[in-house]
């Protein structure tokens, strides 16, 4: 399963939206997930994205999710 597949599945389960963009000028990917109140993002090079293992993708999304949950609760 690739990054886009994990993003779609992860966000669907948690009610998030996501965006995966590539900036050709900067040669960077931006990975953004969020809800109506908060969002989290990673900026990575093409090489970094290509080198991600499935476990690293899961951990990265879990990290963003925990941050979004904390910030959302703090706003309530």
Condensed to tens digits (0 to 9), the pLDDT of residues 6-28 reads 899 999 999 999 999 999 999 99
Residue 45 tokens read as 């090079």
Give residue 40's region: left, alpha or beta (phi > 0; psi -120 to 50): beta
Q: Give the per-residue pLDDT at 43.
A: 97
| Spatial contact of 32 and 43, defined as CB atoms under 8 Å apart | no
The rounded distance, in Å, linking the Cα atoms of 66 and 47 is 26
* pLDDT tens-place string over residues 29-59: 999 999 999 999 999 999 999 999 999 999 9
Q: Give the per-residue pLDDT at 76.
A: 79
Model confidence, pTM: 0.84
Evaluate if residue 66 carries a pLDDT over 90. yes
Q: What are phi and psi of 44, to 5 degrees?
A: -140, 155
DSSP three-state, residue 57: helix
């Amino acid at each position: 399963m690739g990054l886009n597949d994990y993003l779609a599945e992860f966000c669907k389960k948690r009610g998030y939206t996501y965006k995966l963009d590539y900036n050709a000028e900067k040669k960077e990917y931006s990975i953004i997930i969020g809800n109506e109140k908060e969002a989290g993002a990673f900026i990575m090079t093409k090489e970094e994205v290509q080198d991600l293992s499935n476990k690293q993708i899961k951990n990265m999304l879990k990290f963003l999710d925990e941050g979004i949950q904390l910030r959302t609760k703090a706003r309530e």
